[in-house]
A and B are shown apart, each in its own frame.
Chain A
């Protein structure tokens, strides 16, 4: 079963408009972390934002905000005032504990965002 689901393989947004990238997750853990990463064509992974499962407030980092709806198990990324440089692949990820005592992070399939001038 998919643990992280990103249903939008591709999204278009007009420059300066806001866009929401969807992410739903599945876990039975009470403690987990949710992340969003940006991957430009160069391949590097850029950390954008983090939300802990116990955080009551939605995380915000500049133009990025995470719309965390715990009951619905969704962690959508909202990018406000899109810029041309925002065109990239965006991955939602979840960190959860393992039976061995460690933890691991799994990634969704990604959403490719295209910002139009």
Chain B
């Protein structure tokens, strides 16, 4: 079945560095992808909606300059956490529309030290 491949699954980085997370749709084209953030034992919070060939739509309170989203092709969306700080440590997960619902990547656990 249709799958979204998300890499890396885990990453540890130093404060001040940038981290790129990739989300690829396999076997289908994803014109729209969604990026979520999940804190431990909490729900998924929508960060932004990524649209192929256009600017991402960010949710209120999400810093677009800090969380850069690029959706340059129908099968790839990337989230770059720039100048990462420990408070950016979280579980990031992407999803793509697969009617009637969505299919999710396996998530990326980011730890900023």
Contacts and interface: CB of A to CB of B under 8 A. Distances in A.
Given A50-B101, A105-B102, A109-B42, A43 B91 contact: yes
A52 B43 contact: no
Name the residue in B43, B46, B104, B106 with the highest tally of chain A Cβ atoms < 10 Å from its Cβ. Answer: B43
Given A108-B43, A109-B43, A110-B43, A47 B101 contact: yes
B44 A91 contact: yes
Nearest to B48: A104
A109 B45 CA distance: 10
Interface size band for A: 20 to 34
Interface string A4-40: 0000000000000000000000000000010101000
A79 to B, nearest CB: 17
Majority secondary structure of chain A interface residues (helix, strand, loop or mixed)? strand
Contacts of A108: 43
B17 to A, nearest CB: 23
Given A102-B49, A104-B49, A106-B46, A43 B34 contact: no
Nearest to B98: A47
B107 to A, nearest CB: 4
A35 B101 contact: yes
Interface of B: 32, 34, 42-46, 49, 57, 91, 93, 95, 98, 100-104, 106-107, 109
Given A106-B46, A107-B45, 13 more contacts: A37-B104, A43-B106, A43-B107, A44-B106, A45-B93, A45-B95, A45-B102, A45-B104, A47-B101, A91-B43, A104-B34, A105-B34, A108-B43
7 contacts: A43-B107, A44-B104, A91-B44, A104-B46, A105-B102, A109-B42, A110-B43
